Structure 1
Amino acid sequence: MKKAKIHWYEEAEQRLNVLNDLDVFHLKAYKISSLHKEKMKKYPDQKIKKHDFVVGDSVLLFNSRVRLFPGKLKSNWTGPFLITQVLPHGAVELENKEVAMFKVNGQRIEIYLVHSENANEVVEAYNLYEV
């Protein structure tokens, strides 16, 4: 060992410095990857619509299985359904005359504007004359 003239203390400090540099590098890479994940998450989150559904609203349900049996004039929307309960985390309980109650994700439904026979009902509902 004396022939190699190795300074053990200096060698140990050098190895510790290299390990510390590796830890700093790993932390920096972790921060960069978390920032990248946040940026990439923003794009799909932009497409999520926030709806405030109320019990008693009539809604249409999106039928994603229409693609399996395509037809020229087949609609993707079924309904109207009546909201009987609004559950936490965006879930909604629907009811129809033909179908019993069932739970659906709130992202699959849209508010259905019922056709009215009297035009005054529509004007009153939307307050078109008030500015």
Structure 2
Amino acid sequence: MRIGELAARAGTTTRTLRYYESRGLLPARRAVNGYREYGEEDLRLLRQIRTLQDFGFGLEETRPFVDCLRAGHPAGDACPASLAVYRRKLAELDELIGQLTDVRQQVARQLASAELAAEAEAPGGPEPRCELTG
């Protein structure tokens, strides 16, 4: 298939495919007439890259998965290098979750403190709540 068809089937643009080619992630095979030619295996590579990017992996982090597929493994995550990237990404996500949990707790404490202060400042106690607005 040609580049336009591959881009359409992969849900991306020809510009993106050329960029992946320049980065060595997508093989650059040319027909006699100079047109780029791609096969189903290239579509599989692109789907792997897109899935990983949807999960938050950077383009370079997808390289071990692409290399694993190119090595003939049916899944791009069956190789040791791919597993190492998964482990690093999980550790990174765990760290981010920890940071977000800390921030959430701080914001919750600030909110509780602000609500108490607002109630204390309100003349006659807290304002009546409107049932229509919550």
After TM superposition, is the score higher than 0.5? no
Q: Identify the structure with the greater helix proportion.
A: 2
Structure possessing the higher relative contact order (Cα contacts under 8 Å, 6 or more residues apart): 1
Q: Identify the structure with the greater strand proportion.
A: 1
Q: Which of the pair has more CA radius of gyration?
A: 1
What TM-score comes out, normalization by structure 1 length? 0.31
